[in-house]
């Protein structure tokens, strides 16, 4: 049996954080689960909530870590080990300060960019050449303001734009899963640039 493709959304658990900018990865995963009409179910030994779905003809696992953001790597490692998957079958969605709300970008490999969830995934994995979906949340303008900003609630306009970007990203998932990453990137990245 072939290994499932893991789609992981990063965020912090609990109602206190559910509407914060830092939970954009959870928003993405929750929208995907809603579209697939599945419920994420707790798997305590994997430190995650998981749903197994067939997505565009591919066996996929939707994974929402139940750890806090800065321990995301523990959950990702546990799921990868249990399902015997590797970096080639992993997509991680998370919030990105360096992109404005309304923009989402696909990327393969690279650094963690200072993101605490990504940093912990790097700590718990050896192959960092996995796919990332970076969901823009904008930057507060000052380094000192970053923590309260990411842990704060987006304005209604920011949230609308972020959720639009999430929808755009979901639209290109069939190409991602088919291994047509360049096509997916072109479709996702040029849509906003052209103002479509």
Question: DSSP readout, 147-188?
Answer: HHHHTSBPPHHHHHHHHHHHHHHHHTHHHHHTT-HHHHHHHH
CATH number for the domain harbouring residue 122: 3.40.50.1470
Q: Which of 22, 112, 124, 189 is catalytic?
A: 22
- Residue 48 structural domain: 5-193
**22 catalytic per annotation:** yes
pTM: 0.94
Q: Who's near 194: CB < 8 A, 6+ residues apart?
A: none
Q: What is the pLDDT of residues 155-180, one digit of tens each?
A: 999 999 999 999 999 999 999 999 99
Q: For residues 132 and 149, is the Cβ–Cβ distance under 8 A?
A: no
Range 10-19 average pLDDT: 95
Number of domains in the chain: 1
Q: What is the pLDDT of residues 124-153, one digit of tens each?
A: 999 999 999 999 999 999 999 999 999 999
Give, in order, the Cα–Cα distances in Å from 6 to each of 77, 83, 95, 188.
Answer: 11, 9, 18, 20
Q: Terminus-to-terminus CA distance in the chain, angstroms?
A: 41
């Amino acid at each position: 049996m072939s290994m499932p493709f893991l789609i992981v959304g990063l965020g912090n658990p609990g109602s206190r954080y559910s509407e914060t900018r830092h939970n954009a990865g959870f928003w993405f995963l929750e929208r995907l689960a809603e579209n697939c009409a599945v419920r994420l179910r707790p798997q305590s030994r994997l430190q995650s909530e998981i749903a197994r779905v067939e997505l565009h003809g591919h066996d996929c696992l939707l994974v929402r870590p139940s750890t806090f953001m800065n321990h995301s790597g523990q959950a990702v490692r546990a799921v990868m080990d249990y399902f015997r998957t590797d970096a080639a079958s992993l997509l991680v969605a998370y919030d990105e300060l360096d992109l404005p709300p309304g923009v989402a970008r696909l990327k393969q490999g690279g650094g963690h960019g200072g993101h605490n969830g990504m940093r912990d995934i790097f700590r718990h994995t050896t192959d960092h050449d996995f796919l990332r979906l970076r969901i823009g949340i904008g930057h507060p303008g000052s380094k000192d303001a970053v923590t309260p900003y990411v842990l704060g609630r987006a304005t209604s306009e920011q949230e609308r734009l972020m959720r639009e970007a999430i929808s755009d990203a979901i639209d290109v998932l069939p190409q991602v899963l088919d291994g047509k990453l360049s096509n997916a990137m072109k479709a996702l990245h040029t849509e906003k640039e052209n103002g479509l």
